[in-house]
Amino acid sequence: MSRKLRVFISSTMKDLPNERYAVFERLKSFNFEPVMAEELPAAAQASWQTIKKEIGQCEIFIVVSGTRYGWVPDKGPEAERKLSVTHLELEEAERLGLPTLVFLQRLPEGLNRETEDAKRLLQLRERLKSWDGGYFVTREFELAVELADQVGQALMNLLFDKFWQDLEEKREAEEMELEALRERTAGDEPPPKTSKEPDLPSELVEAVAARRTVLFAGAGFSLSAGFPSALLFVERLKQIVRSSAPDYDPDSWSGTPAAISADFEATLGRQALEATAAALTSVLPHVLPTFAHREAVRLFDYIITTNFDTLFEKAGARTVIFQEPDDAELPAAAVLKLHGSAEAPPSLVLIEREVLTLDLRRPKLWGAVLNLLRTRPVLVVGSSLRDPSLIRLFTEAGDQVSGYFVGPGLGKTAAARLSAWNLRCIDSGADPFFAALARALPR
């Protein structure tokens, strides 16, 4: 089962191929897992039991209604009800109590409304419009890109509103699940070996075994655990700013997260910005540490990260430094959170001037991290190293930096860029890399 938020996309296929693809891509951009019938294994596509199972393993249900009622099975399970597959999927989501988002394509003026398919379509649409049991219905759409934007806005409203409404309940459930996780994973072994695991350089394995290596962990750690992407955070910021300034259009100048955060702060204040950033790390309470998080805490005395979330803490990290320390000398082991922690929102580094002046805002922390980069091999996992503060950090460390950069799909361009910091590339995701590393080291 994926760690990501699973969202089922239901619609007729023949009349809405572009729309289904647009929704699929928007969900992927948020680091959610879109589920559609045509993405299932070929042998299972006609199986209603398989579709029911997939819906039951999703947290949110999206239905897009176009110009067709859809195919009505004439045999097999549920055939006697004479409902389209889309209609059956909707009723299954309703039976399960899934939050359901409904999007209605604007019907063309010349649509023949006298056919049997059209009559059943119109009946279904009227039901969707008038039903008051919990559907979230947006305005009608015409273009696929318009639908994708509506889906993004509706998902943010659902997730963040639900976050605020159920905050205490979620925290209690998270603590219970975390405790169960600790019991399940005490002394856990690496997952079964796969073909995706890389061959590790012997000198890297030796350095990790000797506890000489420092880990630099980026957003890839959080994404692999199922956290929403930075794009969701950026879109949420824009959504809230537009509630006060409807003409706000950062898309015209391709605003970065730090730039949009600065606009948000200027418009709505620092406290609202911090609360929104902290909410992103709590909006999906089922997100828990991965095997890579637990192995990182076990194998590395020092972990440097720009991530706001608390997954390393939940994985067992005992000492966490997320703001300027009193003493420049580091403890024997620690997680160093350069951009702060969601558990202490005032510590978060969010806007442009904070990112660009991190060395001035936290000189002791900056100096301690520089010393680690200059004196120990560094292993970069899940970070692009393109954040301005990180570019400054590695550039200031200079020729004394050396180590490895782990990421999927690395090519010649990445290798050439990272060679300036003496970093050798290993083509792998975080979990396969740590599985290979765990197998190479004594437990």
pLDDT of residue 168: 47
Residues 26 and 118 in one domain: yes
pLDDT of residue 57: 92
pLDDT of residue 281: 83
pLDDT of residue 381: 96
Long-range CB pairs of 152-158 (<8 Å, 24+ gap) are: 152/26, 152/30, 152/235, 153/235, 153/239, 154/101, 154/103, 155/7, 155/27, 155/30, 155/32, 155/60, 155/101, 156/232, 156/235, 156/236, 156/239, 158/60, 158/99, 158/101
Question: Do the domain assignments include residue 273?
Answer: yes
Residues 317 and 246 in one domain: no
Residues 333 and 242 in one domain: no
Last residue of a domain, one of 246, 263, 280: 280
Detail the DSSP E strand segments found in 397-442.
Answer: 403-407, 423-427
Residues 393 and 317 in one domain: yes
Residues 310 and 396 in one domain: yes
Residues 99 and 202 in one domain: no
Q: Which residue has the tokens 């890839």?
A: 220
The Cα–Cα gap between 231 and 160 comes to 15
Last residue of a domain, one of 131, 150, 165: 165
How many domains does the structure of the chain reveal?
3
The Cα–Cα gap between 53 and 41 comes to 13
Question: Do the domain assignments include residue 170?
Answer: no
Question: Do the domain assignments include residue 76?
Answer: yes
Residues 397 and 336 in one domain: yes
Question: Do the domain assignments include residue 34?
Answer: yes
Residues 132 and 196 in one domain: no
pLDDT of residue 79: 82
Residues 297 and 310 in one domain: yes
Q: Which CATH number is 408's domain given?
A: 3.40.50.1220
Last residue of a domain, one of 280, 299, 314: 280
Which token pair is 80? 């006697």
Q: What is the pLDDT along the chain (443 residues), one digit of tens a residue?
A: 458 999 999 999 889 999 999 999 999 999 999 999 876 655 544 588 889 999 999 999 999 999 999 989 888 788 889 999 999 999 999 999 899 999 999 998 888 889 999 999 999 998 888 765 556 766 789 999 999 999 999 999 888 876 445 544 555 565 566 555 555 554 566 777 777 788 899 999 999 999 999 999 999 999 999 999 999 999 999 999 999 999 999 877 777 899 999 999 999 999 999 999 988 888 877 788 999 999 999 999 999 999 999 999 999 999 999 999 988 889 999 999 999 999 999 999 999 999 999 999 999 999 999 999 999 999 999 999 998 899 999 999 999 999 999 998 888 899 999 999 999 999 998 888 999 999 998 76
What SS3 state is found at 11? strand
Residues 200 and 348 in one domain: yes
| Strand-by-strand arrangement of the 214-217 sheet | 320-321, 334-337, 302-305, 214-217, 378-381, 403-407, 423-427
Compute φ and ψ for 384, nearest 5 degrees. -85, -15
Residues 252 and 362 in one domain: no
Question: Do the domain assignments include residue 179?
Answer: no
Residues 32 and 97 in one domain: yes
pLDDT of residue 127: 85
pLDDT of residue 44: 45
Domain with 99 in it: 6-165
Question: Do the domain assignments include residue 300?
Answer: yes
Compute φ and ψ for 70, nearest 5 degrees. 110, 175
